[in-house]
Structure 1
Amino acid sequence: MDLLLVDDHAEVRHSIAAFLEEFGHRIHHAVDGRAALVESARVHPDLILADLRMPGMTGLELLQALEELDDPPPLALMTAFGDTQTAVEAMRLGAVDYLRKPIDVKELHALVERIAAQCASVASTTTAREEVDGLVVQGDELRRLVALADRLHDADLPCLIEGETGTGKELFARRIHHGGSRPRGPFIALNCAAIATGLFESELFGYVAGAFTGAVSGGNAGKLAAAEDGTLFLDEIGDLPLDQQAKLLRLLEERTWYPVGSQKLMRLTARVVCATNAGLLERVRSGRFREDLYYRMKVGHLRLPPLRERADTIVPLALVFLARIRKQRGRGFQKLSSDAEALLRSFPWPGNVRQLLHLLEQACLMFDGAVLGADHIRQLLPEAAAAVPTATQATVPGESIIAPSELNLPVDSFDLDGWQRAVVAAALKRHDGSPVRTAAYLKVSRKVLYTLRKRYGLLD
């Protein structure tokens, strides 16, 4: 493999290079982040190992710059100033690993071998579709989220998964549990919205006999005990009352609890993954959710994009689902007509991936034939008829800010740059500054988006 070492200390680079060259790897050097960008464009490395703290451009800034490329190389950060928060931030931005100095050569070798294995199977990981533990992974953004879920499996940190109904929050929670390998214990789910008021504590922590009126004679071990050495998945965490939020925060901070009515201290050995379809930050601002609990859960954070934000994946996703249905039932549609594809792409999918899957399952049950057409979809989803683009809209794909017929340009001049800057800025704000989602929304490459952001001063 081609490896690029980025460190302002030559002795560090040469010692790492000497070790890696013994395994036949080709080593390239850069003294800082800017030199690394130039060298990376020249040699296209399979892996970049970069120091976190360097003059001019830090390792995190280098990572962010590389992520703007269409096909960024994987990057692992090295530092003598390691802390958990920095590691989480690096992984959130796309780093494949995080190594502390002095470098443990066994960890380094394991990392390089892992990347080498990924390079060997790159053809399978870049196919048009990919299925992982029930997840159908379409597009770079979801692949990044799956990779992050795998890293969170090993990090053993509290996790928060945010996403609308139907985006696959429990599937991603199970992915964190499995981590791409054998899980270490049971996966126990608890829906906070389905628990009657006052019963959350006994459901979560368990209780002993006689702890309260109505307690069963044998007691109840509770979900935490059931999830020992595994994963506890708390769904719809946004519906948890404030007094119960305080008890959950104490559990996450102290990693101990008492069953209701017991004096026996229990230790938390399960990973806790929380999920919500509510805007938790808005609930924090309105006083309905504890700010300290929000940030404690958000140490490991995944935001699952709704289907409407990745319209280019809808048709490939539908084809994967149709193939899965045919395999399970022995019958079903083989492909989509062109008008059906247009209809699927234009519909907003309020129920997200789950709604799409259920629609296709219903279509395969109700209709026969090899090709699924738009008429089939309209019969099962009457509201989809309104999603078909009109003739005037069809000239400009996507949502239209102003209909072409309504444009009223000034006679003398028009500030196109100012208008374009406003559009890019608004798109970035809509997608929380994510270059991946913003580029997909604007239907441009990340390289083009980076150029526009640089031109208009929108990189910060």
Structure 2
Amino acid sequence: MVRLNDELSSTTAYLHDLESTNQSQQNLSPFTKIKGRSPVLKDAINLANKVSKTDAPVLITGESGVGKELFAEGIHNAGKRSNHPFVAINCGAIPTALFESELFGYEQGAFTGAIKGGKKGKFDAAKGGTIFLDEIGEMPLELQVKLLRVLQEKHYYRVSGNEAIPTDVRIIAATNRDLEKMIDEGSFREDLYYRLNVISISIPPLRDRIEDIPELIQLFLKEFSLKYTMPIPRIDPEVMYTFLQHPWQGNIRQLRNMIERMIILASDNEVMKPHHLPKNFVKENNPPTLNIHFEEIKKRNGQGEDEIQYALQKTFGNKAAAAKLLGISRATLYNKLKKYDLKLD
């Protein structure tokens, strides 16, 4: 059975889909949902925490599946608007014809099929709180103009309405697109970009913080074992090694789905081995993604102290996976640990 080091085993089981049961615990950080201890992730969290103390617009960038909405929620919960609504809008999921009425609402008789008495929009629903505009790069140009006008004038009109309604929301936007490139191509407004991009937070992809993978695996194993009332399966070191090397194009969302699949398909007390992984997943695996720095250490020192320390760091102290990464037996690794007087804290 793969045993992660003491630091990993002591992590809290504060599960993504069970957050509502713990909201009353005041000692939890607003960013508790975001799991990982890598320096690049900590830098992003620290910046988000600083920004949360203000009302400045924030643009969160990063690949699909890195957790942009979790950062937006954290900023909201850490700020002065935390007692008011957090309303998320997927700009790519709302039909263009309905987008304006979804954001700003509409008056009675605005169009065929309109609800009697009209309907409030997302800006009304988020009053005093935060609106999270996810996938802002998917917003059509004609709607970008209307959003820009609301941000500039700080009021909006419902569809078919004549009354100017003051805005009282914080704006956080997110995208996995290159907005500057879209500006050059004429598909995103430059003035809206600068309105939204007062503070920019870049969320690193999972392949740039592989030291967080073991902690995320433990989190998801606990989550789905509870969801499906099944025992937590054991992870073979080769599977852990494969996970650490994988490019994870779908990032944390892909890892989470993989762990859910493993929980569903696992038999009682079964050890999860490479043959349990989907064939296409194994084909996608790319050994060089682990880290170029590691290859440089190997060339310089062979199986020296630096290489061993780096392997242990990248496998989160997992000796079996570290030995696999180094291409040596566990017995050889233990001998080298003794030789160099290396100990895990």
Instruction: Determine if the TM-score, normalized by the shorter chain, exceeds 0.5.
Output: yes
Q: Tell me the equivalent position of 1:243.
A: 142
Which residue type is aligned with residue 382 of structure 1? N
Bigger CA drift: 129-138 or 228-237? 129-138
Q: Tell me the equivalent position of 1:264.
A: 163
User: Does the 8 Å CA contact 1:129/1:138 hold for their aligned counterparts?
Assistant: no
User: Does the 8 Å CA contact 2:233/2:263 hold for their aligned counterparts?
Assistant: no
Q: Tell me the equivalent position of 1:375.
A: 275
User: Does the 8 Å CA contact 1:333/1:372 hold for their aligned counterparts?
Assistant: no
Q: C-alpha distance in 2, partners of 1:215/1:161?
A: 34
User: Does the 8 Å CA contact 2:52/2:76 hold for their aligned counterparts?
Assistant: yes
Q: Tell me the equivalent position of 1:13.
A: none
Flag the structure with higher strand content: 1
Query: Which structure has the larger Rg over C-alpha atoms?
Result: 1
User: Does the 8 Å CA contact 1:186/1:231 hold for their aligned counterparts?
Assistant: yes
Structure 1 residues 133 and 181 mapped into 2: Cα distance closer, same or farther (>3 Å)? farther
CA RMSD of aligned residues (A): 3.2
Q: Tell me the equivalent position of 2:282.
A: 384
Q: Tell me the equivalent position of 1:201.
A: 100
Deviation of 1:182 after TM superposition, in Å, equals: 8.1
Q: Secondary structure at the match of 1:199?
A: helix
Which residue type is aligned with residue 271 of structure 2? V
Unpaired runs of at least 5, structure 1: 1-124, 403-439, 442-460
Which structure carries more relative contact order (alpha carbon 8 Å, separation 6+)?
2
What do residues 119-171 of structure 1 show as CA deviations (whole Å, max 9, x unaligned)? xxxxxx99985764432233122223223223332211211111111111111
Q: Secondary structure at the match of 1:193?
A: coil
Q: Verify: 1:292 aligned to 2:182, yes or no.
A: no
What do residues 227-261 of structure 1 show as CA deviations (whole Å, max 9, x unaligned)? 10111111111111112111111212222111122
**TM-score, normalised via structure 2 length:** 0.71
Structure 1 residues 225 and 347 mapped into 2: Cα distance closer, same or farther (>3 Å)? same
Structure 1 residues 303 and 324 mapped into 2: Cα distance closer, same or farther (>3 Å)? same
Q: Verify: 1:398 aligned to 2:305, yes or no.
A: no
Q: Tell me the equivalent position of 1:358.
A: 257
User: Does the 8 Å CA contact 1:224/1:270 hold for their aligned counterparts?
Assistant: yes
Among 133, 142, 153, the residue aligned to 1:234: 133
Q: Tell me the equivalent position of 1:183.
A: 82
Bigger CA drift: 125-134 or 231-240? 125-134
What do residues 333-380 of structure 1 show as CA deviations (whole Å, max 9, x unaligned)? 354322111110111111110110111011011012353322222xx3
Q: C-alpha distance in 2, partners of 1:302/1:399?
A: 26
Q: Tell me the equivalent position of 1:312.
A: 211
Structure 1 residues 186 and 388 mapped into 2: Cα distance closer, same or farther (>3 Å)? same
User: Does the 8 Å CA contact 2:61/2:176 hold for their aligned counterparts?
Assistant: yes
Q: C-alpha distance in 2, partners of 1:313/1:223?
A: 35
Structure 1 residues 161 and 186 mapped into 2: Cα distance closer, same or farther (>3 Å)? same
Q: Secondary structure at the match of 1:233?
A: strand
Q: C-alpha distance in 1, partners of 2:81/2:265?
A: 39
Among 26, 29, 41, the residue aligned to 1:142: 41
Structure 1 residues 383 and 397 mapped into 2: Cα distance closer, same or farther (>3 Å)? closer
Q: Secondary structure at the match of 1:269?
A: coil
**TM-score, normalised via structure 1 length:** 0.54
User: Does the 8 Å CA contact 2:228/2:264 hold for their aligned counterparts?
Assistant: no
Q: C-alpha distance in 2, partners of 1:176/1:311?
A: 24
Deviation of 1:300 after TM superposition, in Å, equals: 2.3
Q: C-alpha distance in 1, partners of 2:167/2:81?
A: 21
Structure 1 residues 337 and 256 mapped into 2: Cα distance closer, same or farther (>3 Å)? same
User: Does the 8 Å CA contact 2:235/2:271 hold for their aligned counterparts?
Assistant: yes
Structure 1 residues 138 and 324 mapped into 2: Cα distance closer, same or farther (>3 Å)? farther
What do residues 51-72 of structure 1 show as CA deviations (whole Å, max 9, x unaligned)? xxxxxxxxxxxxxxxxxxxxxx
Structure 1 residues 366 and 289 mapped into 2: Cα distance closer, same or farther (>3 Å)? same
Deviation of 1:181 after TM superposition, in Å, equals: 8.5
Which residue type is aligned with residue 62 of structure 2? G
Which residue type is aligned with residue 185 of structure 1? H
Deviation of 1:386 after TM superposition, in Å, equals: 4.6
